[in-house]
Structure 1
Amino acid sequence: MRALGRVMFALPRLIDADMGGEGQLPLSEYTPLMHLPEAPGPRMRMSGLACACDVSLSGMTRVVTRLEKRGLVLRAKCHEDARGWNAVLTEPGLVCPEEAWPAHLFSVRRHVFDPLEGHDLVGIAAALRKIAN
């Protein structure tokens, strides 16, 4: 249990440090930019994006504010509900994660797949899905 807790704490920080070290997006900004292209529009309600990224709504608001300042997303009122806001991907926001992807992939390989070499990855993935559900 302690090892799992350590991984949950350390892994995002390790990947974030690798990505930042490459002069790329931090993981906290990369993650929403990976979810938005998969959404219709490509836009997502802020609460849905927060849920998809496993962060609080206030945390996602801070991330989207940083992405807005860089011109990677913009915020627009929800058409369905005037109280809600959508994060809308811009053209530069579509390109930016493609440029950051190699650093992200390198980091995930380094910190996840390399240490698990020789283990049953399909079995590990199945067990992790059970835990997450």
Structure 2
Amino acid sequence: MTIHILQKEALTPDIKKQVHDLFKVLNADINQRDIEEVLSQGNEFICACCWEDEKLVGMASLATYKVISGYKGMVEDVVVSEAFRGKGLGRKLMERLLVEGQKLQLSEILLFSGHHRKPAIALYQSLGFNLKDSGLYTLKL
């Protein structure tokens, strides 16, 4: 298995389809943005992908942004194919994102996880993430 950062130049119709299909495992109800658009210039986005024999089996992304309180990253869309869960791929993907965050000298990396996602929460805590005492509010547009 190999993990690398997905680059827009490397996109093929097959890779685009694999990203689309794997994301459905995470949430089939979300209307997905096209990965080519997400990787476009001006969008500060890092997508770590795990491949097994040219098949995408896991991915995790880090969106970065600058605000007065710092240069931050937000972990998004962490998903591992059901057949590959429990093999440490989520950890490897997250570790790769943390390395990328360190290279960028981010001041903080944030993530949100549903309370029902116990294995994911355990992974995040083992990597040093702490539950922040705050509320998350959302408004769908």
- Calculate the TM-score normalised by the size of structure 2: 0.27
| Larger helix proportion of the pair | 1
Q: Which has the higher strand share?
A: 2
Q: Which has the higher Rg, Structure 1 or Structure 2? A: 1
